């Protein structure tokens, strides 16, 4: 009985480790599905495991909060490594060997090109659509995710929404 009590302390962490393992495995086995889908698959798998573990409701509530917090941190850790320009610039400087001149760096980070890449990615994924020469919301899934994150940020840290995604 005492061993079961100690096990419940680590169940959220164990599910989080499953999340990471499943995410990495999915991304390596099915890279064409994309990084974001592998992150969602890993998160959902770990959450599903956690839901089916038998434990008192209060402990399950704490475990869910812990798991969602760990998942939130992991998502942003991956996002930071994938999309942050500072990280990307450092990676490219390392890969260049001899370094890059300012003009070479500026050529790689042309604002127009960055914008076009982001727009084309949003169009390709159906997150936005082009209607009569205007961009409109397509599949609003990421918008809903952004709203959820802004809401959680407000609840957890009392920070106001600087994006305009969440009224209030």
Banded model confidence at residue 1, pLDDT cuts 50, 70, 90: very low
In the chain, the percentage of residues whose pLDDT exceeds 70 is 89
What distance in Å separates the CA atoms of residue 49 and residue 55, rounded to the nearest whole number? 12
What distance in Å separates the CA atoms of residue 116 and residue 93, rounded to the nearest whole number? 23
In the predicted structure, residue 131 carries a pLDDT above the cut 80: yes
Question: Chain centroid to CA 13: how far?
Answer: 18
In which residue are the tokens 């760990």 written? 70
Whether the pTM exceeds 0.85: the reply is no
Indicate the domain borders of the chain. 2-84, 111-159
The pLDDT of residue 3 is: 46
Tell me the two tokens of residue 33: 């599905």
The pLDDT of residue 18 is: 96
The pLDDT of residue 86 is: 77
Average pLDDT of the chain is 84
**Which is more confident, 82 or 48?**
48
Beta-carbon contacts of residue 31 (< 8 Å; ≥ 6 apart): none
Alpha-helix residue ranges (DSSP H) falling in the chain? 2-29, 35-52, 57-83, 85-96, 102-108, 111-124, 141-157
- Residue 108 sits at the vertex; the CA angle it makes with 35 and 143, to the nearest 5 degrees, is 40
Task: Give the pLDDT confidence of 76-115 residue by residue, as tens digits.
Answer: 888 877 767 777 788 888 888 888 888 888 887 777 877 8
What distance in Å separates the CA atoms of residue 68 and residue 56, rounded to the nearest whole number? 18
In the predicted structure, residue 2 carries a pLDDT above the cut 50: no
Give the H or E element holding residue 127. none
The pLDDT of residue 16 is: 95
> 35, 90 in Cβ contact below 8 A?
no
Residue 164: strand, helix, or coil: coil
In which residue are the tokens 């996002």 written? 79
What distance in Å separates the CA atoms of residue 74 and residue 80, rounded to the nearest whole number? 10
Ranking 34-38, 47-51, 143-147, 163-167 by mean pLDDT, the lowest is 163-167
Tell me the two tokens of residue 71: 């998942």
């Amino acid at each position: 009985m005492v061993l079961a009590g100690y096990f419940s302390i680590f169940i959220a962490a164990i599910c989080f480790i499953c999340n990471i393992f499943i995410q990495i495995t999915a991304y390596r086995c099915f890279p064409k599905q994309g990084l974001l889908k592998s992150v969602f698959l890993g998160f959902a798998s770990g959450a599903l495991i956690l839901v089916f573990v038998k434990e008192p409701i209060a402990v399950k509530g704490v475990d869910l909060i812990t798991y969602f917090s760990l998942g939130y941190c992991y998502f942003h850790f991956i996002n930071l490594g994938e999309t942050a320009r500072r990280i990307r610039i450092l990676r490219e400087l390392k890969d260049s060997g001899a370094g890059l001149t300012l003009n070479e760096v500026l050529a790689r980070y042309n604002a127009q090109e960055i914008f076009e890449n982001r727009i084309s990615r949003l169009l390709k994924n159906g997150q936005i659509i082009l209607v009569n020469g205007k961009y409109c919301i397509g599949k609003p899934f990421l918008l809903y995710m952004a709203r959820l994150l802004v809401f959680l940020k407000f609840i957890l840290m009392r920070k106001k929404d600087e994006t305009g995604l969440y009224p209030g």
